[in-house]
Amino acid sequence: MTQHHQDDQDDQHDQHDQHDQHDQHDQHDQHDSGGHGEDHGGRHEAKMYLRFGLMIATSTIIMFALTYTNAFSADHVRFSEERLYMALLMGAAMALIMLAFMWGMMYRNRTVNVAIVVGALLLGGTALYLSRSQALVEDESYMKAMIPHHSIAILTSERAGIEDVRVRELADGITAAQRKEIKVMDWLVQDIEENGSATTPEEAEQRPVPDFEGSAMGQRDAWRAAQTLLRALLALPLVGNVAR
């Protein structure tokens, strides 16, 4: 009887030990599963924010390049600090707007979101300040930025559907002036790069700017040029005799 009772107690102890071991395994598996899920979620979140940053950076670069699409000629494309400032300002604004629309949907890490907002405000504010103050713009960078700016004026003045004769004359005058100033700025950039800045009137007199000419080749000017060329050809003795 005693032996039977002892066997029952041993069986109960074995079952209890097995139950404890099973519970420990379950808890361990749950812990592993939870940790794996947290790691996966963290990696997914990091990838989302990385893609967000790459998207903003790529868009900013593309917007900077697109600011040159309204230049009249590819020869007029120069690096412009002003266009860079505007691209950075637009990129910062885009980051704030996109984050605001997707704050609780895709981007839920409050700490990272606040860091993005602060960074975008600092970037946009700095770009706006540099644009308004022109603090970093010097002689050469000023002229390199003005060349594509003048090119826009040439594009709009030459290709606008202008009907009023007075407006057409104004546009042609603007085109001629812009072309001349582009030539002057190109020459000055090269001269400064080779000889340095002329910081005194005496130095400027020793390196005078050549007398460049600008031209506006609109339809009226092209027709006038053709008429002038025809008259010049007819004035030649050989051509004149043949024409008669």
For 140-197, the DSSP string reads HHHHHHHHHHHHHHHHHHHHS----HHHHHHHHHHHHHHHHHHHHHHHHHHHHHHH--
Q: What percent of the chain shows pLDDT beyond 90?
A: 51
> Of residues 240 and 183, which shows the higher confidence score?
183
- pLDDT value of residue 236: 56
- pLDDT value of residue 181: 93
Task: Please check the confidence at residue 180 and state whether its pLDDT lies above 60.
Answer: yes
For residue 33, the Cα-to-chain-centroid distance in whole angstroms is 45
Measured torsion, CA atoms of residues 17, 23, 29, 32, in degrees rounded to the nearest 10: -100
Mean pLDDT of the chain: 80
> Of residues 35 and 110, which shows the higher confidence score?
110
Task: Please check the confidence at residue 116 and state whether its pLDDT lies above 90.
Answer: yes
Using only the alpha carbons of the chain, give its radius of gyration. Answer: 37
Task: Please check the confidence at residue 232 and state whether its pLDDT lies above 60.
Answer: yes
- pLDDT value of residue 16: 53
Q: Is 70 helix (H, G, I), strand (E, B) or coil?
A: coil
pLDDT digits (tens, 9 = 90+) for 159-176: 999 999 999 999 999 999
The pLDDT confidence band at residue 33, using thresholds 50, 70 and 90, is very low
- pLDDT value of residue 242: 42
pLDDT digits (tens, 9 = 90+) for 191-213: 999 999 999 999 888 888 888 87
Task: Please check the confidence at residue 178 and state whether its pLDDT lies above 90.
Answer: yes
Decide: residue 208, CB within 10 A, 0-12 exposed, 13-18 middle, 19+ buried: exposed
The pLDDT confidence band at residue 239, using thresholds 50, 70 and 90, is very low
pLDDT digits (tens, 9 = 90+) for 40-86: 667 888 888 899 999 999 999 999 999 998 889 888 999 999 999 99
- pLDDT value of residue 168: 93
